[in-house]
Amino acid sequence: MKIAISSDHRGYTLKKYIIEVFASEKFEFLDLGTHGKESVDYPDYGIAAAEAVSTGECSMGIVICSTGIGISIAANKVKGIRAAHCTDPFSARMARRHNNANILALGADITGTAIAEETVLNFLTGEFEGGRHQRRIDKITAYEEKY
């Protein structure tokens, strides 16, 4: 599975950690930056990862800023993206099961590495349940297509 990953300067260290922990034959990462701790603007990186998922270049994405909020808002502006800001493993599991989220947003300043690791694992290995949840996703998609 190819995963787009990006962060602003505040999320850079957590982004590197996630790549180191999860890079394997099962998970390949496309690192879309930033590549250092110099101040950058989170929308540039949230949108870059979202576009990689939206176009099919990557099947899922992870975006990181200080809280996870701003970068998730930016990512959600890209058509076809359902970015979920998750602060715990349960939320990540449910974002996949019920919302078919395709991008996980994390807050580096509020999520420690142990929680982030479990949250990422739940997100990347979670599966969409479909059923009644698909009907809800279809409503979101229809609205997105309309505007």
Quickly count: other Cβ atoms within 10 Å of residue 81's Cβ.
23
pLDDT in tens, 67-87: 999 999 999 999 999 999 999
Question: What CATH number has the domain bearing residue 135?
Answer: 3.40.1400.10
Q: Share the mean pLDDT of the chain.
A: 97
Phi then psi dihedrals of residue 134, to 5 deg: -65, -40
Instruction: Look at residue 147 in the predicted model and tell me its pLDDT.
Output: 86
Domain housing 102: 2-146
List CB contacts of 28: < 8 A, sequence separation 6 or more: 1, 2, 3
Alpha helices in 26-68 (DSSP H): 42-54
Residue 97: which region, alpha, beta or left (left: phi > 0; alpha: psi -120 to 50)? alpha
Q: What is the pLDDT of residues 88-133, one digit of tens each?
A: 999 999 999 999 999 999 999 999 999 999 999 999 999 999 999 9
Residue 39 has pLDDT above 90, yes or no: yes
- Compute how many other C-beta atoms are within 10 angstroms of the C-beta atom of residue 7: 30
Q: In what order do the strands lie in the sheet with 83-85?
A: 28-31, 2-7, 60-65, 103-107, 83-85
**% of residues, the chain, pLDDT over 70:** 100
Q: Which residues are catalytic?
A: 65, 98
Number of domains in the chain: 1
3-state secondary structure of 104: strand
User: CA-based Rg of the chain, rounded to a whole angstrom?
Assistant: 14
Cα(84)–Cα(81) distance, rounded to whole angstroms? 9
Mean pLDDT across the stretch 56-67? 98
The confidence score (pLDDT) of residue 133 equals 97
